[in-house]
Copies of this chain bind each other. A is one copy, B any other.
Amino acid sequence: QASPVDANPLVGVNPLVGVIMGSRSDWETMREASAVLKQFGVPHECRVVSAHRTPEWLAEYARSAEARGLAVIVAGAGGAAHLPGMVAAETRLPVFGVPIQTAALGGLDSLLSIVQMPRGVPVGTLAIGAAGAYNAALQAIRVLALVRPALAEALREFQRKRAEDVRSEVLPDA
């Protein structure tokens, strides 16, 4: 069946989330997204797809995503970061963008290049850097939870556990 979210994706082999990035050097940041998805047991794939070096493949990747069973795409890029927006232009799946931190401008360039999309092509943008990669994966899980009660439950447990951790923090002496 062609539905993007098939009968039992969590134990299946087909990825539900595509985690892509503009360059191999972005992996240091984007591995956080992969780690979160793994922690929640969400099948996913990680690929380097470059808007500027492989525009044809980007189009191919984005256009075939739905048919291949992906439900969400997480895309990280830095500087003049065109990957998330160009993918969003070529698919109807929700795309979440991660601005990679940059040496010169700290990632403000990446952030503005991703978030300031014109009317009609949305990219849900997360924070600059590793926290953004982590949260893009969580946002994908929140989306998937709409159809996976187990993920909804796991998210609730995740939030409960984190609150507990905070409440048990004891600070050292100043």
In contact, B166 and A120 (Cβ under 8 angstroms)? no
Give bound CA distance, A131 to B109, whole Å: 14
A85 within 8 A of B: yes
Report the nearest B residue to A107, measured CB to CB. B104
Copies of chain A in the complex = 8
**Chain B: minimal CB distance from A134 (Å):** 5
A36-78, CB under 8 A of B: which get 1 and which 0? 0010000000111111111111010000001000010000001
A-side residues, CB < 8 A to B, are: 4-5, 22-24, 27, 31-32, 34-35, 38, 46-57, 59, 66, 71, 78-82, 85-86, 88-90, 92-94, 96, 101-109, 111-131, 134-136, 138-139, 142-143, 145-147, 152, 155-156, 158-159, 162-163, 165-167, 169, 171-172, 174
